[in-house]
Structure 1
Amino acid sequence: MTLHGAITQILLNTKVAMSPSGIANELNKIKLYSKKDGSAIKSSQIGARVKNYPHLFKKEGTLISLKSKTGVQKINAQIQQKKTSIDSIDQNTNLLVKVLMNEKNFKQASIIENSVPDSPGLYCIRISNPGTLVDSFSKVLKERDHNIVYIGIASKSLKKRFLGQELRAKGHGTFFRSLGAVLGYTPEKGSLIGKRNQNNYTFSQKNEAKIIHWINDNLIVNWVATDNEINSIESGLIREYLPLLNIAGNPGALLELSKLRNNCKTIARG
């Protein structure tokens, strides 16, 4: 809220003319307006702002009151418009989450090749039958009472990040590396030697093909294209659902998964 908007609200609430120091004291008390540096509002600032908005305020002696109903209505409209915009963002966020997590919207990973857009967004990966995983991992999903294995974001392109890297091994997909390790695959020994990044291990082409085949047979996926608050939405969903193969920001991250990934790194580093 602007300072003159805050002054307007104070005068509307009190319904009496007030001195600059009185208005400043009230603003400092209820924090309706805050300065960028966090310091207290001074009466001199109130006087200067009132002087700059003669269509809103009138000053008689040392007392300030509202002058124009039209101006007040305009300020109130701006405040309401801002509140409506914030509510809209919240509603849009809730709608995005509902669309993303609704199981009815999920599709078999094998049939999405030409459907994923080249735009930012969020994605969620589920497993059709948790029993196809080794017992220790399927047991965790049973305890968590869902079949969600991964939630992620694509800051630039769902097509490149989600489809290409995570599901088709075209690049360095965190999910693909984790899934390969869980399925029992390991990288070729020494394949990271001389590489700048000593963490992004990859599997042989033969094993990549097997993992992709497994993905197509066992995983169902969904996504929403958006660039609105995707980082915070992802963080919230990870904390809420504790997806099986998410590590970063996941309170339920599995030690066994980290061990499997570290073993792959050790092998790849030779």
Structure 2
Amino acid sequence: MALLEIEDKNITHLIGYGSPQANSLLSLAALAKIKGWQLEFYVDRIPDWLKDNPIGNYRIALELGAEVIAVSKLTDEPIHPHDYIQAKKLGEGYLYVPEGGRSPIAEQGVAKLAEEILDWVQSMQVENVCVALPSGTGTTALFLHKHLKAHGIEVLTCPCVGGKDYLVQQFEELGESCFPTVLEAPSKHHFGKLYLHDYQTWKALLEQTGVEFDLLYDPLMWRCLSEWLPENKDKSLLYVHQGGIIGNESMVPRYQRKYGE
């Protein structure tokens, strides 16, 4: 929201980094298209099979005019895309967005989301509301908690990248000291790795609700909630869908190759 509302005619390029299948790649590509900016999105590498047969977020980002740049093709030295961007020393006209939107500018849009949640809770007269969503960088969960805690609404999250300690560290980097409730998975979970129980949870949700969820973040949060819900039957759960449906274009075939239908 903050980026959409920027009215700086000097900006010509939007700079980001992450995975070639990141949800943020597609979001930033769409944003850049709307604003008339050129997106430069830096990744470690782009697999040859993906270059030859673009799919998912990568495919649509390219269609929207994004430039996806493999750092491994630019230098012989092993360097993280974040470090490459920092060394590049961006000049005037370049706007940089950290991976996962982990930036204070994210608060503006998340505050608006909190406002919409409060309006819904009041109009529906729902009591004992808890808001749940998974965390990558945890930025959304953190700022939602900041803007909902005064209204007695608890925010629940779970770490999808690293563990609880790493997630709290990311909260602290945003300068906050009061954090949402962090639920942890019953077993070790590595980001991007395929887990049969995640796929089964995703399929069960689709069958039971008719709602297609993202396959990278949502199943882990729902697995955490399956243990939380029986102990909190007096609560009304409001789940924040993570988007990322285009990413399923590549995730579903990965699961099917590994586990079958």
TM range (shorter): under 0.3
TM-score (norm 1): 0.22
**Higher Rg:** 1
TM-score (norm 2): 0.22
